[in-house]
Amino acid sequence: MPKVRTKDIIKKFDMELISGEEGINRPITTTDISRPGLEIAGYFEYYPAERLQLLGKTELTFFEKLNPRDRAERMEKLCTDITPGIIVTRDMEVPVELVEAAERESVPLLRSKQKTTRLSSHLTNYLESKLAPTTAVHGVLVDLYGIGVLITGKSGVGKSETALELVKRGHRLVADDCVEIRQEDIGTLVGNSPDLIEHLLEIRGVGIINVMTLFGAGAVRSHKRISLIIDLEIWDQKKSYDRLGLDEEKMKILDTDITKLTIPVRPGRNLAVIIEVAAMNFRLKRMGVNAAEQFTNRLSDVIEDGDHDEH
């Protein structure tokens, strides 16, 4: 199913529909925007017909200089069966030839009050967020001290209970159980909650609670960039866990690698506090302070000093 149709941008950017109403359900498949200056000058060799076409002052002033036959023919060529829309900016007068061609080919012809360059960048940003690759992950997403932490782990390990404790400690819930993730840029993953379960947490034995009504609007966020993954697993005696924090594990979601920590769960460990500290430590590392490295370096110095003393 197409993620964006022409009618979505008409609504979002408050555009006026001038003709070609039959085509408002056409899909927009690319984030690229075209300003068909060369095409209006007659060069259609590389015309990217599948993009939204933006006509600004430059294109339309040039168009006025053409003879009537060229005007009709070029507007006819601009309107193809895959063109999602042609937008005239700055609320300018729309050429009659374009109105007629758009109506014949059912290409939505729109008019916007915005300036061309500004509209172009707004459209690109909007389309990039809508057409970004997406996936869904089983887990809980919380905002801790400004760090988006995705808590994963098998069912029943205590993800939602930990999230509840974190919310009580003043942090914010983004999504529980299912996290929708979109890759807005290479290296940038943004997570949000499906509409149906937004603000809800499911706690076994208590049922479904609404975090926003219980703890207030400050306890929730609609979306958050994911910076850290914390995987909870039941403590395994045979497995050796990272005790210094020197090894940095990564997990790939879509095309992006995210730092991942595995935290063993057993009675008596306060997971919320551990996750809080992990988030703070992650922030420190990003600022260039690495406690594990400092400890290792100090340890090496002590060992070296010991060697010197023996000699």
Instruction: Count CA within 13 A, CB hemisphere, residue 296.
Output: 9
Query: How many domains would you assign to the chain?
Result: 2
The CA radius of gyration of the chain, in Å to the nearest whole number, is: 28
One domain, residues 102 and 153? no
The reply, when asked if residue 187 is annotated as ligand binding, is no
Whether 138 is a known active-site residue: answer: yes
Q: Answer left, alpha or beta for residue 30, where phi above 0 means left and psi between -120 and 50 means alpha.
A: beta
Question: 72-112 pLDDT, tens per residue?
Answer: 999 999 999 999 999 999 999 999 999 999 999 999 999 99
One domain, residues 159 and 239? yes
The reply, when asked if residue 65 is annotated as ligand binding, is no
One domain, residues 16 and 68? yes
β pairing state of 172-175 and 140-144: antiparallel
pLDDT of residue 248: 80
Residue 26 is assigned to a structural domain of this protein: yes
Residue 87 is assigned to a structural domain of this protein: yes
Residue 311 is assigned to a structural domain of this protein: no
Given 69, 204, 243, 266, the catalytic residue: 243
Residue 266 is assigned to a structural domain of this protein: yes
Last residue of a domain, one of 61, 96, 131: 131
The reply, when asked if residue 153 is annotated as ligand binding, is yes
Residue whose C-alpha is closest to residue 254's, from 192, 187, 154, 193: 187
One domain, residues 122 and 141? no
The reply, when asked if residue 130 is annotated as ligand binding, is no
Whether 182 is a known active-site residue: answer: no
One domain, residues 204 and 116? no
CATH number of the domain within which 285 lies: 3.40.50.300
Last residue of a domain, one of 105, 131, 157: 131
Question: 221-237 pLDDT, tens per residue?
Answer: 999 999 999 999 988 87
Residue 283's domain comprises 134-295
Question: 130-178 pLDDT, tens per residue?
Answer: 898 899 999 999 999 999 999 999 988 999 999 999 999 999 999 999 9
Whether 71 is a known active-site residue: answer: no
Residue 218 is assigned to a structural domain of this protein: yes
C-alpha to C-alpha distance for 57 and 40, rounded to whole angstroms: 13
Given 3, 11, 57, 138, the catalytic residue: 138
Confidence of residue 311 (pLDDT cuts 50, 70, 90): low
Whether 177 is a known active-site residue: answer: yes
The reply, when asked if residue 250 is annotated as ligand binding, is no
The reply, when asked if residue 112 is annotated as ligand binding, is no
Residue 300 is assigned to a structural domain of this protein: no
Last residue of a domain, one of 97, 131, 165: 131
Given 70, 122, 177, 283, the catalytic residue: 177
The reply, when asked if residue 158 is annotated as ligand binding, is yes
One domain, residues 192 and 44? no
One domain, residues 145 and 261? yes
One domain, residues 154 and 239? yes
The reply, when asked if residue 170 is annotated as ligand binding, is no
One domain, residues 143 and 88? no
Angle (nearest 5°) at CA 288 between 285 and 292: 55
Residue 21 is assigned to a structural domain of this protein: yes
Alpha helices in 132-270 (DSSP H): 159-168, 211-215
One domain, residues 98 and 164? no
Given 159, 172, 199, 224, the catalytic residue: 159
In this prediction, residues 11-27 reach a mean pLDDT of 95
CATH number of the domain within which 30 lies: 3.40.1390.20
Residue 1 is assigned to a structural domain of this protein: no
One domain, residues 109 and 150? no
Instruction: Provide the angle, in degrees to the nearest 10, between the axes of the packed helices 96-105 and 68-78.
Output: 40
One domain, residues 117 and 159? no
